[in-house]
Structure 1
Amino acid sequence: MLKANTTTTTTTTRDYITDGGDELVQQHLNRKLQSIHRFITNLILFMTSYLFNLLSPKYYYSNQQQQQQQQQQYTKKKSHPPDYYHYYTEPTTATTITQEEQIMTKQNKEFYEKVTASPVIIETEVECNKKHFVLALYPLALVMSVRDKKSSTSATATNSPPTPPSYIKMIHSSAITGTTLDGIVSTRVSLHTCVNTGDEKREVRTRKTLVLQFGNADAAKSFIDGVDSLLNALPSGHPKNRSVRVILNPKSGKRLAETIFKEVELLFKDSKMKVKKTITKGPEHAKQIGYKFKLNKYDTIVFVSGDGLFHEFINGLLARDDWEEARKVRLSLIPAGTGNGIACSLGLGDPMSSALACVRGGSRPLDVSVIKQDDQHKWASILSLTWGLVSDVDIESERFRSLGALRLQLGAAIRILNLRVYKGKISYLPALDTQKQDLAKIPKCTPSCDVCKSSDSVETMKNMLSNSQQSIVNGNNNQNQNNQISNGHHDESNNNNINNLNLSNTNGNHNISVDSTSTTTTTTTTTTTTNNTVETQQPQQEESIKQENNGDQQIQIEEPTLTSTSPSSPSSQPTLTNGSKVETRDIVVPLPKLPTEEGLLQSDKPLPSEWRTIEGEFIGFIASTVSHLSADFIASPFAHYSDGFIEMILIRHNPKISKFALASILTDAETGKHIDSPFIEHFKVKSLVLEPGKLEHREGILAVDGERVPYGKTSMECIRGCINLVCKAEY
């Protein structure tokens, strides 16, 4: 009996191993095969991306220019912009010139003469780094100079004019952030600056502190008062009287936001600004902050993140009941994400440059687009609406995020090799009825842009095009006159060539002006009849935003509580990194309250006669209000910050478009030269309606500011100057 039981037990165990063990082994083998398959797939995709870059026309250009740039790097001395540099007025063999020093050039000499032509604020002798200087503080710059003792003595003996200084160190006043008086030695002052250590093509700023030793306490105090007078003249006043709130996304981009803020925090501390820091815990948190924060507590909201967090905050800000007043709060974006399209569009792709712009407090209006699908789906867009090739690459390449910037190149290579063509219909209201080559004649946006500062951007652009066309016509007429006079006759028909440029007057939907120095908000509604344009302005006086004036700089860290997700955001339910859901409160952020034109999405209601329609097959579609969608993707190089227009870029399906041509378009987008491609169509529009079609009974991808949204009929309208954004200083 015992033997039989033992045999039975053994048989049962063997049966278990045979039945269950083989299944476990098979699962293990399947996992191994899947891992090998993924490795081979990634290797093939990597090689495909490499070949894509290798065969790209840009590769030949980059490879050809690479050796020249390397040679110039060693043979050409580093050129510093006029905000920080020091140089010798004459070449000398006794002194070794480092990378931060250079011989005075003609441009530097002109700037030095411009600085010294203005009245000096304070002039005294100081000691810095064990060297004696003559310090002179001017409105444009701080100048520290050293004169040759022999030349100075001979000039004094002969009563001749003083010789120019032999060595000069100059710091532009826009790089000065504050001063600190030593608590022990009353004659020692630390001058805090944020200087440009990059080149003319790229601005890269670094904190630098100069320790100045004055002869007496009165001279030190006079210098501090002089610097304070410069800081008091800033657009937002002295930084020590300001209160800012920092919203930081630790998961943004390469997760370097907290590292970036450590250096930014020191810069804010140099300027003695009062700072409160909030670390977000997941999606929708920034949206809830924008919906609930107190307006009278902070004069600036700073974002250390990418464009996604900024998109969330704007949608919460414009959903408030007091959004008309809330939208005037100053916003500052310090790039710490993957794309950083907004910061790059403002010329502030360097985090420290953005931080310095925040300290200086200069701001300007920025356009915002209202994107709507139905009563439950409405977004305030700061970047773009994309469909087709761009959105496919952006969204589908998320699985390769670990590859960094290479993921977009890899995604583009895959999508071009397996190209998708979408049927659809695009209706739009043109802002300027002109050709693509004529739009390139409009000057690009600058801090002193005439288009953005004008009350009527359409008329301003028309005048620019007319002046450009007039100069061409005058040149042609002069040449024709000379030829025709020599032939004995004269034809005046060419004098009217400028009238051939067709610029139509179209209506504007919404025009909201933001004045960073005034608290008056003007809402302009324009309606168009057949031949006349009627404009109605409704000025509304609003109270100014109160600022906390506290000279003591404080850093406060807030541990936030999340709320539930609202339908207006493309993000999913908030989750932590470990996958667990975040506890939320019973607060739902409503849809943005920005005005929209009724009837654009109604299929039974025809659009006005001024609208145009394009219907057919498309490869790609981009509608944006800024120039950059990312640091290396300049989608609309002629976009303006606040002209009230949407830049619409199309690629229609054409049998003549080869995969090589599409690759060239994407690589040229890094510099904005893709606009010159004959396959690219460029329009300036005020609003549009996109009706995307399906691809083989399968929906495509629509993306708003890089986030996927439901696929369907979508309208987009531009609100001019809707928000107030910190911009680059103009000097």
Structure 2
Amino acid sequence: MAEPQIGKDVSHSKTDDNSDSKEHVYLEETFYILTKKKSVFRVRLTSKGLSLIKETDDYSKEQTILLRDIIGSKCMRSKRRRVGASSCVCSSLAGHHLKVVDENSGDLDESDISAYLYIYAYVLKRSRRTRKRERTTITLRFRSYDRYEDNNREAQKWRTTIKCLLADTPVSYALPHNEKKLLILLNPKSGPGKARELFQTKVAPILQEAEASYDLHVTKYAKYAREFVRTRNVYAWRAIVAVGGDGVLFEILNGMFERLDWQQALEEVPLAIMPCGSGNGLARTICHHYNEPYIPQNLTGLSMALARGKKAHMDVVRVETKSKIMFSFLSVGWGLLSDIDIESERLRAIGGQRFTLWALARLVGLRKYKGVLSYAKIKDISNLPKPKHPLTIGHSVSQDDALDSPDVEAFFDCDENSDVFSSAVNGKRHSRVDSWYSVNSRRSAFYSTRGSDYHSVTSSGSEMRSPVHACMHGPASHLPSLVSQLPSHWVHEEGEFVMVHVSYQSYIGEDLLFAPSSLLSDGVMWMLIIKAGISRTQVLSFLIGMSQGNHTDGNNEFIKMVPVSAFRIVPEGPNGYLTVDGEMVEYGPIQAEIFPNIVNILVPDTK
């Protein structure tokens, strides 16, 4: 009978009442507690998770670590003890001073034949007011056999089974292996400038425990991330992660649409967001929809999503101005909220609080804007067609984002060592070419998961520049040009507005629940219209109500929320701000339409 020890950090979480009651038991073993007489743990690894049954002479108590809360596992050996320490193999365990090292380490305690399995989990804890994940480490000591090799074989069997269950692959004796890494694109200047620190302290340790390797690239200049994904072989990575604010993901998304193979790339390579900026609307929305706690600067749940790789569809919106085409995932704004967003940039060092402070300033000096608003209203949001796959390939002719310019037919690369990949798109073959570094680029080591790399772009001569001009592709528009007449069924409103803000996500900021009814992929944009004539008191009530999502309760003559599938805004006058995903665009006519299910995005595993 096995006589291992279970570590002290045992979870006290309960089983999920909604989970499948028919669980399959893969492994089962009895583990003795060396520090407590007449007490054992019967441990079962099931399709539901890790079941820990504590048995004594008086009672039996069961606890379960749900599979969705487990992030990874690792086999270890005892570390060599210092000279003069007790020679008893169990002495360090009794004092809870167990020290272990990798089995390939040169600092092994050869006298201890035990194999140790560390299981890492982040268990969801609930209290009256808060929900958060708490790190839990379960240590199982295997020493039933007289040789380390035999004990290690048993530990590895458990580890392999856990890894297969986490990867949702058939349980086998071979570890599931994904050769592709994550691509991390980190903007060190996002928000208060803590993205690098947050990644190293919050994200990297979880990826290390999950044995999820990655390539980390730190952006150096504007549109670096956009150029990167446009010109690289993105199929070499299993996902692209934006670390920073919503602006980093905006660059990545538009860089993907500047590829000839945009549809295949978006289908095969999901995107992800690690919120280290000021707004963080998409990250907050994802947590909202998947019942994941969202705590500012706590990236645990979303980091777990990177490791697990669960995907969900997300809508995108094609936005057109007089000279540019772009794709958006969050919102389009005109008026009050856009003013606050752009003008508070000077306060970005204080993080999300800049929006609150500037909102008060804009409330005192409340502005109004004259123009024409037109939109295609959705009459029944409960009965919308939802295509299962992205639309057929088309392209929006836009070179360097400028309209009415020639298209390009292929990517070119100036690096002799670049690998050229070929893929078929709509029956045609196009080149996918790895982008180039200058010969002076340097790459340095970075603390990370084994096999991960940190690519420095801070040295001189390390600029990455696309050798050809960009051309915006993507699904072809269904709308007439900006100067053409709109369809007769559209609604038109002309006058003065305090703001018009259109969002396709529930949250447009960490604490701004803009569209409570919105889903990640539902084909609906929610347009909030506030007309001039509203009092400052009503505007203040609106801003306060947005934190709870009740800002549009009881639409009145000044405020209304309308579900739309497309819209056009034509401002009058030269002064004002228009924003797309928080980024300022040229002031003037703008129109947009939504395309469902275009993008795959990584989300928390809540099954």
Same fold by TM (over 0.5)? yes
Match in the other structure for 1:210: 138
Cα separation, 1, equivalents of 2:468 and 2:515 = 35
Equivalent residue of 1:264, what SS? helix
Q: CA deviation at 1:301?
A: 1.3
Match in the other structure for 1:621: 500
Match in the other structure for 1:177: 71
Match in the other structure for 1:168: 62
Residues 129-278 of structure 1: pairs in structure 2 closer than 5 A: 130=35, 132-150=40-58, 165=60, 167-182=61-76, 183=103, 185-197=113-125, 199=127, 203-216=131-144, 217=151, 219-233=154-168, 238=176, 241-262=179-200, 263-278=202-217
Alpha-carbon distance change, 129 to 180 in structure 1, aligned in 2, over 3 angstroms = farther
Match in the other structure for 1:65: none
User: 1:429 and 2:376 equivalent?
Assistant: yes
Residues 31, 42 of structure 2: 8 Å contact kept: yes
Cα separation, 1, equivalents of 2:224 and 2:511 = 28
User: 1:363 and 2:298 equivalent?
Assistant: no
Cα separation, 1, equivalents of 2:157 and 2:237 = 31
User: 1:597 and 2:477 equivalent?
Assistant: yes
Alpha-carbon distance change, 129 to 204 in structure 1, aligned in 2, over 3 angstroms = farther
Residues 591-600 or 350-359, more deviating: 591-600
Equivalent residue of 1:313, what SS? helix
Q: Which amino acid aligns with 2:12?
A: H
Alpha-carbon distance change, 406 to 244 in structure 1, aligned in 2, over 3 angstroms = closer
Residues 191, 349 of structure 2: 8 Å contact kept: no
Residues 114, 141 of structure 2: 8 Å contact kept: no
Q: CA deviation at 1:195?
A: 2.6
Match in the other structure for 2:100: none
Residues 192-591 of structure 1: pairs in structure 2 closer than 5 A: 192-197=120-125, 199=127, 203-216=131-144, 217=151, 219-233=154-168, 238=176, 241-262=179-200, 263-328=202-267, 329-347=269-287, 349=294, 350-374=298-322, 376-430=323-377, 432-433=378-379, 458=384, 513=389, 553-560=450-457, 585=465, 587=467, 590-591=470-471
Q: Which amino acid aligns with 2:334?
A: W
Alpha-carbon distance change, 651 to 607 in structure 1, aligned in 2, over 3 angstroms = same
Residues 482, 590 of structure 2: 8 Å contact kept: no
Match in the other structure for 1:661: 538
Q: Which amino acid aligns with 2:156?
A: K
Residues 427, 614 of structure 1: 8 Å contact kept: yes
Residues 601-680 of structure 1: pairs in structure 2 closer than 5 A: 601-603=481-483, 605-654=484-533, 657-679=534-556, 680=559
Q: Which amino acid aligns with 1:228?
A: K
Residues 231, 239 of structure 1: 8 Å contact kept: no
Deviations 1:232-267 (A, max 9, x none): 3169x9465542111111111222222222232122
Residues 230, 258 of structure 2: 8 Å contact kept: yes
Number of residue equivalences: 491
Q: CA deviation at 1:596?
A: 4.0
Aligned-residue CA RMSD in angstroms? Answer: 3.2
Equivalent residue of 1:282, what SS? coil
User: 1:119 and 2:29 equivalent?
Assistant: no
Alpha-carbon distance change, 704 to 394 in structure 1, aligned in 2, over 3 angstroms = same
Cα separation, 2, equivalents of 1:135 and 1:146 = 9
Q: Report sequence identity in percent.
A: 27
Equivalent residue of 1:664, what SS? helix
Deviations 1:177-207 (A, max 9, x none): 2221112555311112233346577553344
Q: Which amino acid aligns with 1:252?
A: S
Cα separation, 1, equivalents of 2:570 and 2:225 = 31
Cα separation, 1, equivalents of 2:332 and 2:352 = 21
Deviations 1:552-583 (A, max 9, x none): 93121113489xxxxxxxxxxxxx9xxxx995
Higher strand share: 2
Equivalent residue of 2:576, what SS? coil
Q: CA deviation at 1:660?
A: 1.1
Equivalent residue of 2:25, what SS? coil
Cα separation, 1, equivalents of 2:353 and 2:465 = 39
Alpha-carbon distance change, 222 to 599 in structure 1, aligned in 2, over 3 angstroms = closer
Structure 2: tracts of 5 or more residues without a match: 1-9, 77-102, 145-150, 395-424, 433-448
Match in the other structure for 2:147: none
Match in the other structure for 1:86: 12
Cα separation, 2, equivalents of 1:224 and 1:541 = 44
Alpha-carbon distance change, 540 to 138 in structure 1, aligned in 2, over 3 angstroms = farther
Equivalent residue of 2:555, what SS? coil
Q: Which amino acid aligns with 1:320?
A: R
Q: CA deviation at 1:541?
A: 8.6
Q: Which amino acid aligns with 2:455?
A: E
Residues 393, 475 of structure 2: 8 Å contact kept: no
User: 1:682 and 2:545 equivalent?
Assistant: no
Deviations 1:251-290 (A, max 9, x none): 1122222222223212212222221111111211101111
Deviations 1:682-722 (A, max 9, x none): 1111111110123xxx5111111111111100011111111
Residues 279, 352 of structure 2: 8 Å contact kept: no
Residues 183, 241 of structure 2: 8 Å contact kept: yes
Residues 571, 589 of structure 2: 8 Å contact kept: yes
Q: Which amino acid aligns with 2:284?
A: C
Cα separation, 2, equivalents of 1:366 and 1:253 = 24
Residues 601, 713 of structure 1: 8 Å contact kept: no
Cα separation, 1, equivalents of 2:128 and 2:374 = 42
Q: Which amino acid aligns with 1:147?
A: E
Cα separation, 2, equivalents of 1:198 and 1:355 = 20
Alpha-carbon distance change, 109 to 141 in structure 1, aligned in 2, over 3 angstroms = closer
Alpha-carbon distance change, 141 to 685 in structure 1, aligned in 2, over 3 angstroms = same
Q: How does the TM-score come out when normalised to structure 2?
A: 0.74
Cα separation, 2, equivalents of 1:306 and 1:587 = 27
Cα separation, 1, equivalents of 2:588 and 2:345 = 22
Match in the other structure for 2:88: none
Return the index of the structure with the highest Cα Rg: 1
Alpha-carbon distance change, 211 to 274 in structure 1, aligned in 2, over 3 angstroms = same
Q: CA deviation at 1:312?
A: 0.7
Deviations 1:307-366 (A, max 9, x none): 111101111111011111111211121111111111111116441101101111110111
Cα separation, 1, equivalents of 2:358 and 2:479 = 37
Alpha-carbon distance change, 302 to 120 in structure 1, aligned in 2, over 3 angstroms = same
